[in-house]
Amino acid sequence: MTIGDVGRILFHRIPEGEDLLPAIRKAAEAFEVRAGAAIVIGSVATAVLGYFREGQYSYLTFNGPLEIVSGSGNISISEKGDVIAHIHLAVSDENGRVLGGHLSEGTIVGVTAEVTLIEAKDLRLLRKKDEKTGLNLWHLS
């Protein structure tokens, strides 16, 4: 477990046409967030959502416009010090049907995306490669 005091809260709007995942990562980098929670709402033009089974991701692409019903996740860092945004996304279509998965590159913001990050002060939330799964899992002291 890793625990610290809550620090800053950051609100960032990502404009139409941007790639959502790298844009969240860049916002965290710009403010040197090394550990935190993330909440995202808004809309997407396209969603690329991952599903993990038997050691690998498959990716589904859904074309919109789609509402971002929820974006939930966290900000951490790799052993090299790179910022990682791990976000899971649920989106809804014109009939209210919801699709979801692991937010992946190529998910393009629709009208707007509103990102809120809640930071842990003076904390580094580290990920390390897990041999068994091949995933970068939280490595908590």
* Site for a copy of itself, residues 68 to 127, rule: CB under 8 A: 68-74, 86-102, 110-112, 114, 116, 118-120, 123, 125
Cα–Cα dist 16/24, whole Å: 14
Q: Does the footprint of a copy of itself cover residue 4 (CB under 8 A)? A: yes
In single-letter form, the type of residue at position 39 comes to I
Among 21, 27, 44, 85, binds a copy of itself (CB under 8 A): 27
Sign for the CA dihedral angle at 126, 129, 130, 133 comes to positive
Q: Does the footprint of a copy of itself cover residue 34 (CB under 8 A)? A: no
Instruction: Give the total of residues touching a copy of itself (CB under 8 A).
Output: 72
Buried b (16+ CB within 10 A) or exposed e, 62-94: bebebbbebbebbbbbeeeeebbbbbebbbbee
Q: How far is CA 61 from the centre of its chain?
A: 17
Per CB under 8 A, which region of 17-25, 34-42, 77-85 contacts a copy of itself? 34-42
Q: Does the footprint of a copy of itself cover residue 65 (CB under 8 A)? A: yes
Per CB under 8 A, which region of 2-10, 17-25, 77-85 contacts a copy of itself? 2-10
In single-letter form, the type of residue at position 117 comes to L
- Taking the least distance from each CB to a copy of itself, the nearer of 51 and 82 is 51
